[in-house]
Amino acid sequence: MQTTYPLSATATLEIASGDISNQKDLDAVVIFLSSRPQFGAESASSDAGKARKVPGIVLPALPAIQPGQAVVSTHFKARSPMVIACLAPVFGVDLPSENLLKNCYRNAIALAEGQGAKSIGFSGISGLGFYYPTENVAETAITMICELTPTFQSLRTVRFLLLDSFSLRIYREACNEILGVLT
């Protein structure tokens, strides 16, 4: 089930269950890579210059990036025209974690806007190798999207795609609190 929240007169935020690699209606999808493969997430910086696989998406060789940075790839196999890879911080390890996570969202939005994307989808990030409490990441993500909304030139839809009912509930509660919407 998808829940839609108004961000502005021209933009909406969607919270939905789904697989980030199967979003053919989105112009851009954002995946989070980890700088710390020992934490169990898909590694990025340790494999700089090598092609890597994220379930459903094949990314070509990417340059070495730091936590909080993002790169766009148009040469990939995915259902969306653009894949943006963000090197997400590991909570409590890459410091300051919250600021680096905010930079992930800021940089991904800037890259999508720079390509004229009308829609963007973010995969969920939490305990899967990043050790982020779901409540913290939901609040940070939604707050950043709200702060960035006035800068949108082309973006009209921002979608968070989550894989479990707990994360869906937490993101919806965060939207209700931050956006002042009651469902």
Closest CA to 16 of 122, 105, 93: 122
| Strand positions, DSSP E, the chain | 3-6, 12-17, 28-34, 52-54, 57-59, 70-73, 82-88, 119-123, 157-162
**Radius of gyration of the chain measured on its C-alpha atoms:** 15
The domain total for the chain is: 1
Cα(21)–Cα(118) distance, integer angstroms:
18
pLDDT of residue 181: 67
For residues 42 and 59, give the distance between their C-alpha atoms in angstroms, rounded to a whole number: 12
Say whether pLDDT at 53 is over 60: no
Domain with residue 94: its CATH number is 3.40.220.10
Q: How confident is the model at residue 59 (pLDDT cuts 50, 70, 90)?
A: low
68-88 confidence digits (pLDDT tens): 999 987 545 556 688 898 888
Under 8 Å between Cβ of 132 and 41: no
Q: What is the pLDDT of residue 145?
A: 97
The two three-digit tokens of residue 132, written as one number: 């982020």
What's the rounded mean pLDDT across residues 139-168? 95
For residue 117, pLDDT beyond 80: yes
- Which amino acid is it at 130? F
Mean pLDDT on 50-57: 46
Tokens representing residue 40 in the block = 């169990």
Separation of alpha carbons 84 and 93, rounded Å: 23
Average pLDDT, the chain: 82
- Quote the domain boundaries for residue 65: 3-179
